[in-house]
Each structure stands twice: as structure tokens, then as C-alpha cells.
Amino acid sequence: MSGSISIIIPALNEAEAIGQTLDAARDSAEGVPGIEWIVVDGGSNDTTVEIARSRGATVVTSSRGRARQMNAGAQIARGDTLLFLHADTRLPQGFSDEVRRTLAVPGVAAGAFSLRIDGAGRRLRWVERAANWRSRILELPYGDQGFFLKAELFRSLGGFPELPLMEDLEMARRVGRRGRIAVSPLAVVTSARRWERVGVLRATLFNQVFLLAYLLGMPPRRIAEWYYAKSKF
């Protein structure tokens, strides 16, 4: 589908969020041709699959793991642009035009959106500012910012590295060797549930420590072991 966008959403027990995510994407793209929605389920035991299908999404299954699931979605995607989106993240109005505009800029290989967190409080605003600073200055957006690039480039890189953690940052680093990663001023809205569950300060501290470890060369699999043992996300 020339000029089209495939939105790929990995999901696992996301019945609470997936409907809102798909509804927001559809509302934002209303009247825009060439948009397809693919939900890749990693073995949910709730109603994630049924909700996604009721919203008209193509649903496929794969073994569990965000990188593995996103790669599975990319394999069947028909669009010439791929947009990877978390199941609890809502796209902004006009996202399709913004994706196309961003990728048309000379030297830009990929893009992401700015981050907004769906929650109240000054601490969450600090998290947003830090995330947007990091993604713009270091060109290392996280997956919850809606990462997008041309399908041809994605496939030439071999897809996401199948890591248990940091697959989004590793992909960003690989893409960065081909061109810039631009961050749109338009913002996605992601759920505050992770920060609320763990605590804003604790979650932020762990995220920064894990990012520093990654940038200093610690193997992502080792970081994942540390992450799941310490953070309890």
C-alpha cells in the first residue's frame, strides 16, 4: 500500500487499555486512507483479542516478548511506513500527516512523538520533560513514544533485536547510523499506571540507572535480569 501506515501494537492482557488505544487511533485517522491496525497478542488470557477484533484490527499471535511480537506484526504489515505503538498509548490528532511530514525531511531516518503521561502531579510533568529532553538531545526515544520508520529500512536492519529489554533503544541506535531520529512536537498520551504502581521517584531512578548501564555497554540481557529483580515493574 503506497504511502500507507501500518500501526503495530504488541499486547499481553491489555483488555483494560487496548480498546481506548484503537479508538483513539481510528478517531485521529478518520477519513485518512491507507491506515491499518495490527495487534500482536503474546498469549493473553483476558479479552484483549476479542476487543481488538471488535475494533477492526487485524490480530495475530506470537510467542511472548515485545520485540518478537513487533517483528511478527511487521512481517504481515502492508504499509510502507511502520508505526510501533504500546497498547496503553494513544496517538495524537493528525498523527498520520505528522508521520509522513517527519519522514520526508532530508536526513531523517525515523521519528517518534513527544511524551505526555495520563496522570496528575508535578512529578509526572518532570518525567515528561526529562523523557522529551532525552529523546531530542540523545535521539533515543523509548517505545512508549510511538516509534516510526519506513518498512524498507526496518527490514534492512533485520527488525527489532530480540532482547528481553532495551529493544527500543537498541533499534534507535541502529537506525541512528542511517540518519537522524526526529521527535515531533505532537505528543502521544501514555498511561500513568507503571509510575503509579511503582512510584514516580522509584520508577524514574531505576529507568535512569538502566539507561546509564545500557549506554556504558552493559549487555541488555544482564540489564533485564537486574531490572526484573530490582524494579518489580
Q: Domains in the chain, please, with CATH?
A: 5-193 (3.90.550.10)
**What percentage of the chain's residues is helix, strand, coil (to nearest 5)?**
45, 20, 35
Per-residue pLDDT of 178-209, as tens digits, reads 999 999 999 999 999 988 887 887 777 777 78
pTM flag (> 0.85): yes
Write out the E strands in 15-66.
35-41, 58-61
Position 1 scores a pLDDT of 45
Residues 6+ away with beta carbon under 8 Å from 142 = 115, 131, 135, 168, 169
Per-residue pLDDT of 24-62, as tens digits, reads 988 888 768 899 999 999 999 999 999 999 999 999 999
Position 2 scores a pLDDT of 53
Cα separations (Å) of 152 from 30, 31, 81, 97, 148?
Answer: 26, 26, 8, 19, 12
In whole angstroms, give the CA distance from residue 43 to residue 194: 21
Would you place residue 230 in the very low, low, confident or very high pLDDT band (cuts 50, 70, 90)?
low
